[in-house]
């Protein structure tokens, strides 16, 4: 019999600040964290906005001598893991643990250091390239640094599957716990927006452009949608085997019930899939893995981000899986932007908001599109359900879905609130 997988800790740093409370309050209110980019010059770009992290001071989490040796994504990951263990009321002792692993999803880890290193190498030659940067040029550095910092000697793996990275990491983590290979996994995603990364997206016209008389914005499922907005953030979860969590009297936010992962049919490089069959299969596999039928799912946290093709594809997939039933749907991309950590961000939002019987709105949505006929709202809605599905589709054709059951605050073993 496979192990049940509970979620017992959350570490969150977002465009709404540090911690899960400001994040949950913001997504429930329909706020958007998308602002003007000030970290670098965007005057030559079609798009100039992104969901940038606010209020994060790495020195509050990392000792000075370590801080200078870690790049932006590594700092974010280390801080989120510390927040996660604090939230869970549990951390490995001074000797660490052989029974806790790390699986992190990321698109941008290593990019900042790689760009800086190559620029210095090209300008000044080998002698001018700072050796201190080199260890951070690999994308698995944040996961490895987290393992070293907290003594986590279980599996250590990094997933870079574009926008689906964090749900890919979560799927691996659930499998490791279900199979009894580890007692717990640190998982989720971490991304920071680097200048070249932003400008490449802008050059290829993937982003919502600045308009005369108005700002660019992510508009999931909206008739006016014209591209996504990039985001950054760290969204990390502690997953525990139910037996381990029970023995230490842990509070559980909820339980991972089912997972689905598929590849779409032939998809052009860096493009969204051309049809919805891959996502339909992922959703159906996740629901079946949970031992449920579609009528038992109460809400969909969508991957829609304001891209014309992706949103239309997902709307078709939701309609196919749930039929004529008008299941409640929300997307957070109008608030937090698009990143490799957005799937984990949706998991956290679902856990925190459905626990108080509220479903977040879809920021950016205002004008219905007949081609995206799904049940979204500009306002938070009451919900009596506690099972939701999270979708994540990567450009290139990877599809992930996760089915999660939320513990109401009154059902948890210890109280929590925001």
Evaluate whether 5-247 and 258-406 have a shared fold: yes
Over residues 300-318, the mean pLDDT reads 97
Query: Is the torsion defined by CA of 170, 176, 179, 183 positive or negative?
Result: negative
End-to-end CA distance of the chain: 35
What is the maximum alpha-carbon separation in the chain? Answer: 65
Give the per-residue pLDDT at 214: 58
> Tokens 């525990």 correspond to what residue?
240
CATH superfamily entry for domain 5-247: Thiolase/Chalcone synthase (3.40.47.10)
- The fraction of the chain above a pLDDT of 70, given in percent, is 96
Name which of 87, 101, 96 is nearest 7 in CA terms: 87
Domain boundaries, the chain: 5-247, 258-406
Given a cut of 70, whether residue 414 has pLDDT beyond it is no
Report the CATH superfamily, name and number, of domain 258-406: Thiolase/Chalcone synthase (3.40.47.10)
pLDDT band, very low/low/confident/very high, at 212 (cuts 50, 70, 90)? low
Query: What is the per-residue pLDDT for 125?
Result: 84
Tokens of 303: 């991957």
- Which pLDDT belongs to residue 265? 87
Cα atoms in the 13 Å half-sphere on the side-chain side of 167: 34
pLDDT in tens, 361-413: 999 999 999 999 999 999 999 999 999 999 999 999 999 999 999 998 655 44
Percent of the chain with pLDDT over 90: 83
Q: Is 296 exposed, middle or buried (CB count within 10 Å of its CB: 0-12, 13-18, 19+)?
A: middle
What is the predicted pLDDT for the residue at 410?
56
Read off the pLDDT of each residue in 16-22 and give the average, rounded to a whole number: 97
pLDDT tens-digit profile of 77-130?
999 999 999 999 998 888 999 999 999 999 999 888 888 878 888 888 887 777
Rounded to two decimals, the pTM is 0.95
Q: Which of 265, 160, 208 is nearest to 48 (CA)?
A: 208
């Amino acid at each position: 019999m496979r192990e049940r997988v509970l979620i017992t800790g959350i570490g969150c740093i977002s465009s709404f600040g540090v911690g899960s409370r400001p994040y949950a309050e913001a997504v429930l209110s329909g706020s958007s964290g998308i602002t003007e980019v000030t970290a670098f010059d965007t005057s030559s770009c079609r798009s100039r906005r992104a969901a940038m992290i606010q209020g994060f001071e790495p020195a509050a989490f990392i000792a000075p001598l370590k801080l200078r040796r870690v790049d932006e994504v590594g700092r974010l990951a280390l801080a989120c893991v510390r927040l996660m263990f604090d939230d869970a009321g549990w951390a490995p002792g001074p000797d660490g643990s052989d029974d806790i692993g790390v699986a992190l999803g990321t698109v941008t880890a290593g990019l900042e250091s790689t760009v800086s290193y190559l620029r210095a190498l090209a300008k000044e030659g080998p002698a001018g390239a700072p050796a201190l940067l080199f260890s951070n040029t690999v994308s698995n550095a944040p996961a490895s640094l987290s393992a070293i910092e907290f003594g986590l000697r279980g599996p250590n793996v990094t997933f870079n599957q574009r926008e689906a990275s964090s749900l890919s990491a979560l799927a691996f983590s659930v499998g490791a716990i279900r199979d009894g290979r580890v007692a717990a996994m640190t998982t989720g995603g971490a991304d920071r927006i680097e200048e070249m990364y932003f400008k490449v997206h802008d050059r290829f016209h993937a982003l919502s452009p600045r308009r005369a008389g108005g700002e660019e914005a992510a508009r999931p499922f909206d008739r006016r949608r014209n591209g996504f907005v990039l985001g950054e953030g760290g969204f990390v979860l502690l997953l525990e085997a139910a037996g381990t969590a029970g023995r230490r009297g842990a509070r559980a936010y909820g339980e991972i019930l089912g997972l689905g992962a598929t590849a779409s049919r032939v998809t052009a490089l860096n493009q969204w899939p051309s049809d919805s069959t891959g996502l339909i299969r992922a959703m159906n596999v996740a629901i079946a893995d949970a031992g449920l039928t579609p009528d038992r799912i109460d809400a969909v946290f969508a991957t829609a981000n304001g891209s014309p093709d992706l949103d239309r594809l997902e709307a078709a997939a939701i309609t196919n899986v749930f039929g004529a039933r008008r299941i409640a749907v929300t997307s957070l991309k109008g608030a937090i932007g698009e990143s490799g950590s957005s799937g984990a961000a949706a998991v956290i939002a679902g856990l925190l908001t459905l626990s108080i019987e509220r479903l977040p709105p879809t920021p950016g949505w205002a004008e219905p599109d007949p081609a995206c006929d799904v049940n979204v709202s500009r306002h938070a809605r009451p919900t009596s359900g506690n099972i939701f599905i999270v979708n994540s589709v990567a450009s290139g054709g990877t599809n992930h879905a996760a089915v999660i059951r939320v513990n109401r605050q009154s059902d948890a073993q210890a109280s929590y609130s925001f």
